[in-house]
């Protein structure tokens, strides 16, 4: 037994250490990456390097975002793409903000029931595999829209590093290989995809192998030379339309010719004095993050503590209510009226709080709106430049390697974004989302997304750039990174690494990452009526990429500041990197 004297000495030591020692990581995360002039955080280190190079050569954050977008299409083929779609949130150095929607549009020949059989039942795989799953891609038009309006560099300069990586190839590391795991069978089904993403013997790539993408290099070169017409009006569109027609798809040349980027007003709200700017419809992300934050503002999360049963209960109930709105009320703004003002209204959040029992789990079925019938891969990157321009981009092929198809000769992987529509009201999609009529398929319509590229400012200055992949969980992953920083005082690395919980109304379950909740907390939550389930599928827990400005955490910022830019790539990302200069 320790002597009382020793015990009091150790107590004194603990007090002394906790008072005087520099604050160490809460979650045993590595330190954020620190820099003074610019920061680029992406899911693949070569893309981060390319982004930083653009910044060093005097390009702004928008230039870097375009270069990174093209680079990830080469070095992160599971999600980086020009055959999918995405969103870009921009906060300029003068505080103005904008949002670019370059997500997929449904082909003109799409119909509401295209994934159903004669009996009205969903045909498995139709909305996720092959050409019928493909929406009209937007990134080439989106990047060019961003560059020509807000960038400073010529397209060729921004796309050249990606062309070189595609032509010369790059050596795959362990982190790169992880995203190919389990995809061999799907990729083997499409000869053009297999020829690029599998070895000549049909085996998957291993660490140390070189991935060369000659056709993609040629497609990128023609875009560098001819601009967006190369993709939307020229040989690339022709090749995709031909492959689609040959393989049972419905893409037409007119779909490509009509494609347009939308510049939209971002969603805005305020959480405990922080100004949040995020994605508007056709994303649900910004609205639902704001709705959940507004509800949570009424609870003293900081006092209740990270991971406590009370904090988690409040989060789950806020998520439960907000996902009802997500899944039933939202859709493409060109086709449906979205209740934007209501969902970001603090008094609506107050009404919801009044319905939340502090001691008892809600019941999802009871929140079913009248008339509602029930029956990977994305990537996010965050950039900030020396002038303080901040860019958050989330773009996706939807599932890992999208629809698993490449139009012969193009080297371009195509998305399966059509699965984000409501293929059949009340029937879960790839991410278990049970959605309604507002998100039904219509020609030219954009499927509802959860992608949430988000930029936060405080007192008129940039504070945080954040976002993540993760399907339906993107919203809660981004939300949790925000409250981990603002309420729980974590540094940006801890905030993106901390284990997560998720609820999406239906199924009525609380999903937790392994170790997210202690056995005691789980018991308390179960006693309240929550059905808590550990979800070990790490892929769907996202891969956040964040930047905090002025210090690595709120305490450091408030104490006068640390490094200007603090970058953190989620430890769940195998090959990612935060790079600054």
CA nearest neighbour of 495 among 482, 508, 514: 482
Q: To the nearest whole angstrom, how small is the minimum distance from the Cβ of residue 566 to ligand DON?
A: 25
* Element holding 567 (H helix, E strand): strand 565-569
Q: Which of 66, 474 has the CB closer to ligand DON?
A: 474
The secondary structure of residue 359, as a DSSP letter, is T
Residue 450 engages ligand DON in binding (rule: CB under 6 A): yes
Q: With the C-alpha atoms ordered 13, 14, 19, 21, is the resulting torsion angle positive or negative?
A: positive
The answer to the question of whether 311 is labelled as a binding residue is no
Q: Are 72 and 42 in contact (CB under 8 A)?
A: yes
Distances (CA, A) of 414 to 52, 234, 397, 558: 28, 17, 7, 46
The answer to the question of whether 476 is labelled as a binding residue is no
d(CA 467, CA 278): 9
Residue 378 engages ligand DON in binding (rule: CB under 6 A): yes
Residue 470 engages ligand DON in binding (rule: CB under 6 A): yes
Residue 396 engages ligand DON in binding (rule: CB under 6 A): yes
Residue 451 engages ligand DON in binding (rule: CB under 6 A): yes
Q: Which of 219, 284 has the CB closer to ligand DON?
A: 284
Residue 449 engages ligand DON in binding (rule: CB under 6 A): yes
> Quick one: which segment of 113-121, 175-183, 218-226, 466-474 binds ligand DON (CB under 6 A)?
466-474
Q: To the nearest whole angstrom, how small is the minimum distance from the Cβ of residue 164 to ligand DON?
A: 27
Residue spans of alpha helices (H) in 258-300: 285-296
Residue 327 engages ligand DON in binding (rule: CB under 6 A): no
Q: Which residues are catalytic?
A: 378
Q: To the nearest whole angstrom, how small is the minimum distance from the Cβ of residue 10 to ligand DON?
A: 46
Binding mask 518-557 for ligand DON (x = CB under 6 A): ----------------------x-----------------
Q: Are 132 and 279 in contact (CB under 8 A)?
A: no
Residue 89 engages ligand DON in binding (rule: CB under 6 A): no
CA nearest neighbour of 429 among 375, 478, 475: 375
b/e map 3-12, b = 16+ CB within 10 Å: eeeeeeeeee
CA nearest neighbour of 330 among 290, 284, 292, 264: 284
Residue 376 engages ligand DON in binding (rule: CB under 6 A): yes
Q: Which of 378, 457 has the CB closer to ligand DON?
A: 378
Q: Which of 59, 467 has the CB closer to ligand DON?
A: 467
CA nearest neighbour of 293 among 448, 524, 468, 484: 484
> Quick one: which segment of 92-100, 208-216, 356-364, 375-383 binds ligand DON (CB under 6 A)?
375-383
Q: Which of 144, 417 has the CB closer to ligand DON?
A: 417
> Quick one: which segment of 227-235, 286-294, 347-355, 447-455 binds ligand DON (CB under 6 A)?
447-455
Residue 32 CA to its chain's centroid (Å): 20
The answer to the question of whether 103 is labelled as a binding residue is yes
Q: How many residues bind ligand DON (CB under 6 A)?
A: 15
d(CA 123, CA 175): 34
Tokens of 196: 């690029």
Residue 474 engages ligand DON in binding (rule: CB under 6 A): yes
| Residues found near ligand DON in the complex (CB under 6 A) | 376-378, 396, 398, 417, 420, 449-451, 469-471, 474, 540
Q: Which residues are annotated as a binding site?
A: 103, 396-398, 420, 449-450, 471
Q: Which residues are annotated as a binding site for L-glutamate?
A: 103, 396-398, 420, 449-450, 471
């Amino acid at each position: 037994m320790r002597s009382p004297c020793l015990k009091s000495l150790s107590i004194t030591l603990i007090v002394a250490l906790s008072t005087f020692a520099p604050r160490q990581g809460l979650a045993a995360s590595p330190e954020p990456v620190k820099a003074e002039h610019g920061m680029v955080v992406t899911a693949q280190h070569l893309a981060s390097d390319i982004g930083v190079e653009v910044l060093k050569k005097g390009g702004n954050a928008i230039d870097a975002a375009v270069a990174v977008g093209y680079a990830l299409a080469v070095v992160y083929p599971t999600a980086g793409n020009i055959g999918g779609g995405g969103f870009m949130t921009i906060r300029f150095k003068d505080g103005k903000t904008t949002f670019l929607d370059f997500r997929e549009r449904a082909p003109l020949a799409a119909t509401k029931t295209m994934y159903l059989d004669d009996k009205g039942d969903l045909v498995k795989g139709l909305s996720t595999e092959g050409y019928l799953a493909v929406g009209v891609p937007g990134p080439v038009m989106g990047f060019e829209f961003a560059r020509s309006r807000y960038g400073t560099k010529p397209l060729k300069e921004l796309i050249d590093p990606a062309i070189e990586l595609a032509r010369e190839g790059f050596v795959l590391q362990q982190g790169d290989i992880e995203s190919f795991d389990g995809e061999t069978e799907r990729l083997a089904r499409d000869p053009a995809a297999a020829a690029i993403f599998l070895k000549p013997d049909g085996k998957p790539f291993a660490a140390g192998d070189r991935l060369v993408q000659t056709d993609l290099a040629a497609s990128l070169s023609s875009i560098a030379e001819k601009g967006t017409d190369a993709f939307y009006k020229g040989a690339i569109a022709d090749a995709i339309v031909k492959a689609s027609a040959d393989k049972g798809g419905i893409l037409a040349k007119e779909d490509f010719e009509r494609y347009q980027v939308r510049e939209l007003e971002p969603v805005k709200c305020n959480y405990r004095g922080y100004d949040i700017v995020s994605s508007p419809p056709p994303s649900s992300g910004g609205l639902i993050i704001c709705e959940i934050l507004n509800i949570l503002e009424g609870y003293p999360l900081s006092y209740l503590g990270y991971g406590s049963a009370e904090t988690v209960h409040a989060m789950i109930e806020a998520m439960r209510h907000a996902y009802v709105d997500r899944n039933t009320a939202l859709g493409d703004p060109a086709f449906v009226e979205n209740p934007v003002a209501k969902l970001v209204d603090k008094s609506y959040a107050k009404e919801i709080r009044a319905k939340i029992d502090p001691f008892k789990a809600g019941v999802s079925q009871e929140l079913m709106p009248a008339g509602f019938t029930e029956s990977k891969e994305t990537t996010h990157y965050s950039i900030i430049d020396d002038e303080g321009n901040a860019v958050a981009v989330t773009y996706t092929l939807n599932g890992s390697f999208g629809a698993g198809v490449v139009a012969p000769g193009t080297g371009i992987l195509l998305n399966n974004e059509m699965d984000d529509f409501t293929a059949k009201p009340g029937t879960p999609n790839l991410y278990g989302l049970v959605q309604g009529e507002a998100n039904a398929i219509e020609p030219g319509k954009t499927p509802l997304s959860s992608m949430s590229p988000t930029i936060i400012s405080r007192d008129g200055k940039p504070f945080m750039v954040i976002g993540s992949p993760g399907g339906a969980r993107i919203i809660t992953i981004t939300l949790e990174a925000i409250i981990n920083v603002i309420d729980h005082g974590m540094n940006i690395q801890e905030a993106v690494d901390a284990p997560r919980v998720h609820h999406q109304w239906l199924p009525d379950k609380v999903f937790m990452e392994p170790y997210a909740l202690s056995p005691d907390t789980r018991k308390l939550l179960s006693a309240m009526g929550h059905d808590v389930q550990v979800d070990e599928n790490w892929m769907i827990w996202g891969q956040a990429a964040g930047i905090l400005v002025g210090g690595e955490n709120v305490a450091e910022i408030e104490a006068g500041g640390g490094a200007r830019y603090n970058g953190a790539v989620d430890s769940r990302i195998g090959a990612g990197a935060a790079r600054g200069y």
